[in-house]
Chain A
Amino acid sequence: MRSSTSSSDDRLPRGGWGRTWRLTLLGLVILLGGLELTWRIKGYYAQVYGADESWILSFAQLSHATSVALGTSRIQAALDPQAWQSVMGGKPPIDLALPGNAPLPILDYIADSTDYRGTVLVEVLPLDAFDARQQGAPRGRGLLDRYDRDRVSPASMSEAWLQVHLLRFFVFRSPELLPSEFFKRLGTGELMPDKGLLHLRTDRFGPIQQKKFIATNKWDPQRGFYEIGHAGAEHEGRVPTPEEFDALRGRYYRIARVIQGRGGRVVFLHLAGCGERGAIEARRYPRATFWDPFARQSPALALATEDFPELQHFACYDGSHIDATDAAAYSRALATVVKAQLQASGGTR
């Protein structure tokens, strides 16, 4: 039976296609090229910050990885994967850290829903990791849900790859620079997005060019950048009660035991803040109350960088992140410490 509707073939517009499409392509190149140039001149750069797809792609590599890093932007900026690999061997670590994020949901997933047996490097930033509200957890859970959905679909994974590689080359595709984000910022008083310090690459590690900002920000070696404000560190989240803290670290310990039980290794890392921000962190989460008891009873190796002199001589700029020029040396030093400590523990932790 034929359908009763006519086909669209008999009424096609005729002629003029070459000119129409040539003009269209010219307009497209001029407009998008001009936009790209404008953003670059204004100091924005191509990177994958804010793109969930890059995290999904990194997670998809987990089964082949020998080491994986979790935590916040602090570890993303501090680790140079090649430098780390040169000391630790194996493959370069994969980065599953999320800026300002609690690692627990992702650790739970790695422990319970994968058979990963490599090294898990967990940056424990008390502000986020011990936050009683676990404010960062929903983001991790959301990404894991998306990963579960996408991993069965080759189209979704290839789409993620293509999106990430577009971001890698074109500034105008940066999530913060898209028109929809400008609409959201209407009325907030800050129409133009922050240029940001973290330059995430497609492997999600990202050097921070902090020295560039010294010219425009007030800085001294003791305080770091001052007058940049640390409202987040001061006010976000809630310090847990002793019972809540015990419950939280119990979750970390359980995860460590599960991964160790199948031959993997877990290293908890406390990358101390510095300057004014470090002082806020130390006040809200005193080491003696939080990190020390956590490390003492941890079934896995737990290291605080401030305990190792070889990790102390790196300049502190924004109070939180290692500078791009120091990342490789810092990573080598950190890897040397971790390697030595793992050997010293004799595989018992």
Chain B
Amino acid sequence: MIFNSLTFILFFAVVLGVYYLVPMSWRAKKWFILLASYVFYAAWNPPFVLLLMASTVIDWVVANRMASTRNHYGRRFLLLVSLVFNLGVLAFFKYGGFLLDNFAVLMHSIGIAYQPPVWSIILPIGISFYTFLTLSYTIDVYFKVMEPVDSLLDYAFFITFFPHLVAGPIIRAADFLPQVTQERRANKDQMGWGLVLMTIGLFEKTILADGFLAPFADRVYSAAAHAGFADAWLGTLAFSAQIFFDFAGYSTCAIGAALCLGFVLMDNFRYPYAAIGFSDFWQRWHISLSTWLRDYLYIPLGGNRRGAMRTRVNLMITMLLGGLWHGAAWRFVVWGGLHGSYLVVERQAKDRWGARALWTGRGARVVLALLTYAAVCLTWVFFRAPTLAAARHVSGSMLTGGHDSHLLGTLGRSIIVALTAVLLTTHWWLRDSSIEAKWQAMSPWVRATALTAMLVSLCLVSGDARAFIYFQF
């Protein structure tokens, strides 16, 4: 089920109604939300709910056994069981075809003609997200960062809670499980703001990402080989805005839906296109993933504690694997590699010139933010292009120019430029503030006008709901 659908609106209304109006114990409410979450997941493709259940039960059992095992090797073995199961399932469903194709290429390069079987396995929706949730839990229990949860119901609730289930935010057990122990009821502020967040999120996704931007990005990238300088840049600007509105829209909806039920999820985006530098970008973009990678990959690899060279290697490994997490294709690895390179270069630059006052002026900060945005846009090419060859062509056109084939009309170009300008300005305006603070400063009339405009436009879009981009990951 996707948030931008009538089915979800109906589902959510029923869930809210039962949750608040039917007198039930907290335990019964948790069972109800758990059941609703399974329905939410199964509505996409019912059999895969069994995989989700299996993953939940196995990690809960493993973590509890781990806590009761004093033997170090026993604990390590149990951690290995969790890692092999979770990563094995992920590898099978997500990377099976990719591995087979690359194995065939490898064999071919040494003269062996190997024809891999056709890999037509459906990728279970949200598998990358809930796998990271369960992994972080068993790793935390292994390192005794937290005690395992006794109740399978509470643990299943944490993994399956429908607002975050299929595309995050990738919440942490230590953040979320304490919320499950006591009855949650949204107060008026939570309910009011939760509904506002859902409206904003749906508007970002449905109107801005799907309605205005996706058609332009699709037009350029479906004819990538013909994209000249202007088309390549404009198509990529359209995609950079599209993916922000798409994914931030989803996260905003998820946070809003959880808030309506009285639960607080972590922020996932904080005006990333106003980032000054790439480490700043990753503290603002897909925060739940970047902090996960930092805590469970970068720091265990040694982080920045083992010298400059090792830090660079750790950064590259983290970002390459982060890229691969997004999709089973070399394009995503290149995308991660570019971000890793940016972070390495930035770290060196900061070591050498970071202390200079030149960078702290307002003008310089704007310039640096725009440079960061432009560099991030270059990476999006590899994220969006259908093939590596197409990505090479588009990025080549962006960097070196090329004959312009006018894939986008004047109206299209104007819309992209205007929306990009609005997006960047808004991010800069909110960079050191928050949307909550701005909302608080508005009168009810202004708030109502904004909400009405968003809701009316949502009622006037076609019913062909596009899935969220991150669902494919």
Contacts and interface: CB of A to CB of B under 8 A. Distances in A.
Interface of A: 1-9, 11-21, 23-24, 27-28, 31-32, 51-53, 152-155, 158-159, 162-163, 166, 172-173, 175, 178-180, 186
18 contacts: A1-B146, A1-B174, A1-B295, A2-B175, A5-B267, A6-B266, A8-B255, A8-B259, A12-B189, A16-B444, A28-B459, A31-B452, A52-B464, A153-B43, A155-B5, A162-B10, A173-B459, A180-B462
Nearest to A11: B436
Contact of B460 (A16, A27, A172): A172
B170 to A, nearest CB: 9
B22 interface: no
A1 B211 contact: no
B35 interface: no
Nearest to B187: A12
Contacts of A51: 463
Contacts of B368: none
Contacts of B255: 8
B405 interface: no
B309 interface: no
A13 B439 contact: yes
Interface of B: 1-2, 5-7, 10, 42-46, 136, 140, 145-146, 171-172, 174-175, 188-193, 195, 211, 255, 259, 264-267, 287-288, 291, 295, 411, 434, 436-437, 439-440, 444-445, 447-449, 451-452, 455-457, 459-465
A128 B111 CA distance: 51
Contacts of B140: 1
Contacts of A153: 43-45
Contacts of B437: 11
A53 B464 CA distance: 9
Contact of A24 (B193, B265, B439, B451): B451
Given A7-B175, A9-B190, 6 more contacts: A1-B174, A3-B291, A17-B191, A20-B192, A21-B195, A155-B44
A11 to B, nearest CB: 5
Given A8-B436, A17-B189, A17-B192, A3 B266 contact: yes
B46 A154 contact: yes
Contacts of B45: 152-153
B189 A14 contact: yes
B465 A159 contact: yes
Contact of A53 (B193, B452, B463): B463
Contacts of A16: 444, 447
Given A159-B6, A172-B460, A5 B266 contact: yes
Nearest to B415: A183
**Which of B211, B255, B411, B440 has most A Cβ within 10 Å?**
B440
Nearest to A155: B43
A288 to B, nearest CB: 44
Contacts of B436: 8, 11-13
Given A1-B136, A24-B455, A180-B462, A7 B288 contact: no
Nearest to B137: A1
Contacts of B455: 24, 28
A154 B288 contact: no
A1 B463 CA distance: 41
Nearest to B457: A179
A12 B44 contact: no
A186 B451 CA distance: 28
Contact of B5 (A2, A32, A159, A186): A159
Contact of B463 (A4, A15, A21, A163): A163
Contact of A17 (B1, B188, B464): B188
Nearest to A167: B463
B434 A11 contact: yes
Contacts of A27: 448-449, 451-452, 456
B182 to A, nearest CB: 14
B448 A20 contact: yes
A2 B267 contact: no
B264 A3 contact: no
Nearest to B195: A21
A31 B456 contact: yes
A3 B456 contact: no
Given A2-B174, A3-B291, A180 B448 contact: no
Contacts of A173: 459, 463
A18 B255 CA distance: 21
A20 B262 CA distance: 20
B411 to A, nearest CB: 8
A27 B255 CA distance: 26
A51 B464 CA distance: 9
B264 A21 contact: no
Contact of A20 (B174, B451, B460): B451
A299 B430 CA distance: 72
A17 B188 CA distance: 7
Nearest to A16: B444
Contacts of B211: 180
4 tightest A-B CB contacts, nearest first: A17-B192, A23-B448, A27-B452, A155-B43
**Which of B190, B437, B456, B463 has most A Cβ within 10 Å?**
B463
B5 A178 contact: no
B211 to A, nearest CB: 7
Contacts of B175: 2-3, 7
B11 to A, nearest CB: 9
B206 to A, nearest CB: 11
B205 to A, nearest CB: 15
A32 B288 CA distance: 38
A24 B463 contact: no
A1 B459 contact: no
B189 A5 contact: no
A281 B95 CA distance: 55
Nearest to B46: A154
A14 B43 CA distance: 36
Contacts of B190: 9, 12
B448 A24 contact: yes
Contacts of A159: 5-7, 463, 465
Nearest to B192: A17
Nearest to A179: B460
Contacts of A13: 189, 192-193, 436, 439-440
A152 B45 CA distance: 6
Contacts of A19: 444, 448
Nearest to A172: B460
A119 B295 CA distance: 63
A6 B46 CA distance: 35
B461 A178 contact: yes
A154 B190 CA distance: 31
Nearest to B172: A3
Contacts of B2: 155
B44 to A, nearest CB: 6
B456 A28 contact: yes
Given A5-B266, A24-B452, A53-B463, A12 B447 contact: no
